[in-house]
Amino acid sequence: MMEEMAKVLTCDGSGWVTVEVKVKNACNHCDNSESCGTSAVSKAFSPKVQYFSIPSDDHYAPGDLLKLGLPESVILKAAALVYLLPLTGLFVGVALASILSSLFSFASSDFVVIPFALVGALLFWFAARRVAKRMENDSQPVIISHLGHSI
């Protein structure tokens, strides 16, 4: 289970808690203002804080700290979707183009294979995105523990 600290923003009476989670960097040097190529990309494209709501049976005060957990299987499945499905689409597109170019005997099969490969990768990427959205809705983080009020 992957764990992360979250700060409670609001807790309504209907059983939902809105929290904010500060996004951490892999090497923790970005927070120390050291520069590298990865920190430049991270600063440009990634949000510093993420907000979301999670179900809760307990009531928490704004400012309370919670430890949230998310199973590793969700993260591994998301990584497989993002990387492997478009790559599979690329190979399917190449195979389909190779079969079509051999059937119709095109003079230059490269001009047929490259567009088919790109279209295959793009179609499989859209499919992966749809599955990832569904998986995101099905997998919610859970509250592991209440850590008290932040200082």
User: What's the sign of the alpha-carbon dihedral 102, 107, 108, 111?
Assistant: negative
Q: What pLDDT, on the 0 to 100 scale, is given for residue 91?
A: 96
Q: What pLDDT, on the 0 to 100 scale, is given for residue 75?
A: 79
**What CA–CA distance (Å, rounded) separates 142 from 31?**
27
Give the residues across from 22 on adjacent strands: 49
Q: What pLDDT, on the 0 to 100 scale, is given for residue 93?
A: 94
Q: What pLDDT, on the 0 to 100 scale, is given for residue 89?
A: 95
Q: What pLDDT, on the 0 to 100 scale, is given for residue 61?
A: 84
Q: What pLDDT, on the 0 to 100 scale, is given for residue 121?
A: 95
pTM of the model: 0.59
Q: What pLDDT, on the 0 to 100 scale, is given for residue 22?
A: 82
- 61, with CB counted inside 10 A (0-12, 13-18, 19+), is exposed
Q: What pLDDT, on the 0 to 100 scale, is given for residue 86?
A: 93
Q: What pLDDT, on the 0 to 100 scale, is given for residue 140?
A: 78
3-state DSSP assignment of residue 103: helix
Q: What pLDDT, on the 0 to 100 scale, is given for residue 25?
A: 58
* CA-to-CA dists, residue 107 to 104, 110, 112, 136, 141, angstroms: 9, 9, 10, 46, 55
Give the residues across from 16 on adjacent strands: 55
Instruction: Encode the chain (151 residues) as per-residue pLDDT tens digits.
Output: 888 888 888 888 778 888 898 876 556 555 555 556 666 655 665 567 888 888 888 888 888 898 888 888 887 888 888 889 999 999 999 999 988 888 887 766 778 889 999 999 999 999 988 888 888 777 778 888 888 776 6
Helix (H), strand (E) counts: the chain: 3, 5
Is 117 within 8 Å of 94 (Cβ atoms)?
yes
